[in-house]
């Protein structure tokens, strides 16, 4: 088994890496929550075989449809977090609806696991300035940390000006931002999702040094390792995006194997008791870039 002080996987990351999974089902025609079960358990088996404890951020849809899956992940020693009551961008939510939905989703996961649920990850990393209402709602619901911000302009949004290391929002909620590298003026989550398997390994190794100084973690979805699923156009996406989300899925576990040479504890354990600075931000006016200053 690997230990948390194992040899570094220098080719893909410059330090220890936590393993996280966003447990959701693909928005492909006819796909349902049950289709996430088999690949999710493969990911659990992968981590267990290497003595690694991960964090599984689970949608409420998965928790309602497959409660036994959530119970098994927790029983095998992994951290359970919430991936939202609905898998849609936060900016499309009403404040009250989001607050009540997250309280119910958190309670359901805690009932299933018998343990407090501390962490949240926004669908599509959609915690951005236009969805800042979610920060206090999550804190009020009892979450202690979020892992939802791309700290800079990104192709899917991002929070320009946010720190690239864990920080605390003024309300007290801790944020563990996505590890990113800057490429073509945008911030790229090099260690996760389709980026982990689409970017050629030689290029990923060349870019990896730019991750230095950040709290490193990788993420994937059950469908990222589902090599048997036929190609399909995803709801709300065009042909190119659907192709990228299907391409080279066999590479995901190969690259996780490289990263597993130097694993870190689950996110909740790494953040527990952490001393982090407060990130003060202000609401931007039209035409401005979000700006923040450390307290």
Q: Is residue 117 part of a domain?
A: yes
**Average pLDDT along the chain:** 90
DSSP state of 20: E
Count of structural domains within the chain? 1
* Tens of pLDDT, residues 245-294: 888 999 999 999 999 999 999 999 999 988 899 999 865 443 444 444 33
The CATH number of the domain holding residue 177 is 3.20.20.370
H or E, element range at 63? helix 60-65
At residue 241 the predicted structure's pLDDT band, cuts being 50, 70 and 90, is confident
pLDDT for res 288: 45
Alpha-helical (H) ranges within 78-148 are 95-113, 133-141
Provide the β-strand partners of residue 188. 181
pLDDT for res 103: 98
The contacts of residue 24 (CB under 8 Å, 6+ apart) are: 36, 59, 61, 62, 83, 87, 123, 221, 222
Average pLDDT of the segment spanning 197-225: 94
- 188 three-class SS: strand
H or E, element range at 234? none
Q: Is residue 229 part of a domain?
A: no
**Closest Cα partner for 292 from 177, 159, 179, 148?**
159
pLDDT for res 283: 53
Q: Is residue 249 part of a domain?
A: no
- 38 three-class SS: helix
Percent of the chain with pLDDT over 90: 75
Give the helix, strand, coil percentages of the chain, each rounded to 5. Answer: 40, 15, 45
- 208 three-class SS: helix
Q: Is residue 251 part of a domain?
A: no
* Tens of pLDDT, residues 2-48: 443 333 444 689 999 999 999 998 777 777 788 899 999 999 999 99
Considering Cα of 258, then 152, then 224, then 251, what sign does the dihedral take?
negative
pLDDT for res 287: 44
Q: Is residue 142 part of a domain?
A: yes
What count of residues does the chain have?
Answer: 295
Task: Spell 27-59 as b/e; 16+ CB within 10 A means b.
Answer: bbeebebebbbebbeebbebbeebebbbbbbbb
Q: Is residue 125 part of a domain?
A: yes
Return phi, psi of residue 40, to 5°: -65, -45
Give the span between the Cα atoms of 214 and 260, in whole angstroms: 18
Which residues span the domain enclosing 77?
18-189+215-222+262-294
Count of CB atoms situated within 10 Å of the CB of 105: 24
CA 11 to each of CA 7, 238, 264, 265: distance values in angstroms, whole numbers, following the listed order: 12, 33, 17, 20
At residue 231 the predicted structure's pLDDT band, cuts being 50, 70 and 90, is confident
Considering Cα of 71, then 72, then 74, then 78, what sign does the dihedral take?
negative
pLDDT for res 11: 60
pLDDT for res 289: 46
Q: Is residue 98 part of a domain?
A: yes
Q: Is residue 243 part of a domain?
A: no
Average pLDDT of the segment spanning 78-104: 97
pLDDT for res 108: 98
Burial class (CB in 10 A: 0-12, 13-18, 19+), 148: buried
pTM of the predicted model as reported, rounded to 2 decimal places: 0.90
């Amino acid at each position: 088994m690997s230990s948390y002080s194992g040899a570094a996987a220098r080719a893909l990351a410059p330090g220890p890496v936590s393993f996280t999974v966003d447990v959701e089902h693909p928005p492909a025609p006819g796909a349902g929550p049950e289709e996430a079960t088999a690949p999710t358990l493969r990911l659990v088996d992968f981590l267990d075989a290497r003595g690694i404890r991960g964090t599984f951020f689970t949608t409420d849809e998965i928790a309602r449809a497959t409660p036994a899956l959530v119970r098994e992940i927790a029983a095998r020693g992994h951290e359970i977090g919430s991936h939202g009551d609905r898998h849609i961008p936060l900016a499309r939510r009403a404040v009250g609806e989001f607050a009540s939905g997250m309280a119910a989703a958190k309670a359901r996961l805690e009932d299933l696991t018998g343990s407090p649920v501390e962490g949240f990850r926004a669908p599509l990393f959609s915690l951005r300035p236009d969805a800042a209402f979610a920060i206090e709602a999550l804190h009020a619901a009892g979450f202690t940390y979020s892992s939802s911000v791309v700290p800079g302009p990104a192709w899917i949004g991002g929070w320009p000006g946010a720190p690239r290391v864990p920080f605390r929002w003024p309300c007290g909620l801790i944020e563990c931002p996505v590890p990113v590298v800057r490429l073509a003026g945008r911030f790229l989550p090099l260690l996760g999702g389709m980026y982990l398997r689409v970017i050629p390994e030689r290029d990923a190794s060349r870019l990896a040094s730019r991750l230095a100084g950040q709290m490193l973690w990788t993420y994937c979805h059950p469908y990222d390792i589902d090599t048997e699923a036929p190609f399909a156009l995803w709801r709300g996406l065009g042909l190119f995006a659907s192709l990228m989300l299907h391409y080279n899925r066999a590479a995901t576990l190969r690259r996780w194997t490289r990263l597993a040479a130097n694993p870190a504890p689950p996110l909740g354990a790494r953040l527990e008791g952490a001393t982090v600075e407060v990130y003060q931000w202000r609401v931007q006016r039209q035409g401005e870039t979000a700006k923040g200053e450390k307290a």
